[in-house]
Amino acid sequence: MASSSPSRGVVSYTLLTGNTSPGSQFMASFRVGDNSSAKGSLHEYMLAETEHGPKSQGQLVWDASHGSAESPFASVAQVILDVRPDRVKWAVGTSGFISIEPDSKTRYKHIRKIEIAAATGTRERDRLIQWDLIEVTFFCDGQGYFETFSSPCLPRVATVKTKSRRAAHAEEDVKERGFQQFVEICPNDDHVTRVHVRGQVTLRANSMNGARTELNADDLRGKVLVFTDLSRREHVELANP
């Protein structure tokens, strides 16, 4: 932990499996997309103010050697999210920042918590997405305080090579659903007005010997949700970010 001042609120971490919380004000996400930076291609990363706010999308090449949907896919990338009341920026890999500027009517006063997730959009074998590093800096603007924390909880989802009979039976009812794990990080301080997240993620698919399956745009996904004093708990998030 790096710090510029004595600790204020006690930051808490909770690792959970399942659905993330409703009501985030901002969502920064990434996915496989179509692994292309060509104009007009599917987006690989996105930044949005939840509900009807502004949205921005970007393209990137995760793995230049991934030539077909069934070929091996592997990538390690840095992600950076910076959230301030008047501007939010998001970058993935070596691609440039995308940003949004919330309307003055939707500028929050403080940040309540963030949730950082890893998810698969399928239960096909040989899919891996994991956060290797999560560093979060909370700023108390106007007071000169900021503190950086390294999360001890790192979300990870991997689909196994083979399935047990019990798993195979359960999968019949949720064939199209994947898995999700996320960490909830709470500053527990009402004076936090800015958050900076720096992380490293690993994505991998079709790396095992044997039959390979088609890698789709949403098979590997990650996201960072930011909850503020303006967040509405009853809100339903955007589907398939």
pLDDT tens per residue across span 69-101: 789 999 999 999 999 999 999 999 999 999 999
- The whole-angstrom separation of Cα 208 and Cα 53 is 41
Quick one: tokens of 188?
């527990």
Q: Quick one: pLDDT at residue 208? A: 79
Is the CB of residue 209 less than 8 Å from the CB of residue 150? Answer: no
Quick one: tokens of 91?
């970058």
- The whole-angstrom separation of Cα 51 and Cα 43 is 19
**What pTM value is reported for the model?**
0.87
Longest dimension (CA), the chain: 58
Q: Where are the domains of the chain?
A: 2-228
**CA 107 from centroid of its chain's CA atoms:** 22
> Would you say the C-alpha torsion 183, 187, 190, 195 has a positive or negative sign?
negative
Is the CB of residue 10 less than 8 Å from the CB of residue 156? Answer: no
- Cβ-proximal residues to 104 (8 Å cutoff; 6+ apart), any chain: none
Nearest C-alpha neighbor of 158 from the set 203, 201, 199: 203
Q: Quick one: pLDDT at residue 138? A: 97
Q: Quick one: pLDDT at residue 203? A: 98
Q: pLDDT by residue for the chain (241 residues), tens digit each?
A: 333 333 467 999 999 999 999 999 999 999 999 898 888 889 999 999 976 788 999 999 999 999 887 899 999 999 999 999 999 999 999 999 999 998 888 899 999 999 999 999 999 989 999 999 999 999 997 778 899 999 999 999 999 755 555 544 444 444 457 899 999 999 999 999 999 999 999 999 998 776 788 999 999 999 999 999 998 654 434 444 4
